[in-house]
Chains A and B, each alone.
Chain A
Amino acid sequence: SQTIHQWPATLVQPVGSPLSLECTVEGTSNPNLYWYRQAAGRGLQLLFYSVGIGQISSEVPQNLSASRPQDRQFILSSKKLLLSDSGFYLCAWGRRANEKLFFGSGTQLSVL
């Protein structure tokens, strides 16, 4: 069966520090991978998605970047965090547009 791992679950970082959140998927190959940020009143905002290794599409201009170094690994990064980067980050994967997405358990990021 397929599983998705996302870590860490919580993270507190000072402003200006770097960020690396990792997501890995097991039990499937060549998944479409996604990073979302969930904020109150704004729903799930799509940040990045990837259809293959090294292929990243950015949905919103921001202080973050994403990379996909391996087929089932998706990384969200920042060189210097801002206060506005605080939020709940969700990784997800899917196979086809007519099927549901599978979500990780999320990372609560607090930038202080």
Chain B
Amino acid sequence: AQSVTQLDSQVPVFEEAPVELRCNYSSSVSVYLFWYVQYPNQGLQLLLKYLSGSTLVKGINGFEAEFNKSQTSFHLRKPSVHISDTAEYFCAVSDQDTGGFKTIFGAGTRLFVKA
């Protein structure tokens, strides 16, 4: 069965500092990996996804993530954060199931960017 573990529930960071949000997953089959972002009072928005190929994936707003199969991790990074990056970030794993697919989300990491 799939599972997703986001290792940090909250990450405070100063503006212009780098940040890494950690995500580990488990699955018995090949999976697709996603990061979504939820800004305050808004819906979920896709940041980036890993399907196959290059293990470094670039997304919107300067974010990138690295897929590490041996460590079953998909950590999200940004070299320099802005106040506007304050949001909740969700890691998700998706795989095929009988007749369709299902997507499991982690518990989320709340990123606070301070001036």
Contact = CB atoms under 8 A, between A and B. Distances in A.
Interface of A: 32, 34, 36, 41-46, 49-52, 55, 57, 59, 90, 94, 96-98, 100-101, 103, 105-106
B9 A49 contact: no
A55 B102 CA distance: 14
Given A43-B108, A44-B90, A100 B101 contact: no
A43 B90 contact: yes
B107 A41 contact: yes
What 3 A-B pairs are tightest by C-beta distance, nearest first?
A51-B100, A97-B101, A43-B107
Contacts of B51: 98
Contacts of B98: 51
A94 B101 contact: yes
B100 A100 contact: no
Interface of B: 6, 9, 32, 34, 36, 43-44, 46, 49, 51, 90, 94-108
B49 to A, nearest CB: 7
B80 to A, nearest CB: 26
State the main secondary structure of chain A at its contact with B.
Answer: strand
29 contacts: A32-B102, A42-B107, A43-B6, A43-B90, A43-B107, A44-B108, A46-B103, A49-B100, A49-B102, A51-B98, A52-B100, A55-B99, A57-B97, A57-B102, A59-B102, A90-B44, A94-B101, A94-B103, A96-B101, A97-B103, A98-B32, A100-B34, A100-B36, A100-B46, A100-B49, A101-B103, A103-B43, A103-B44, A105-B43
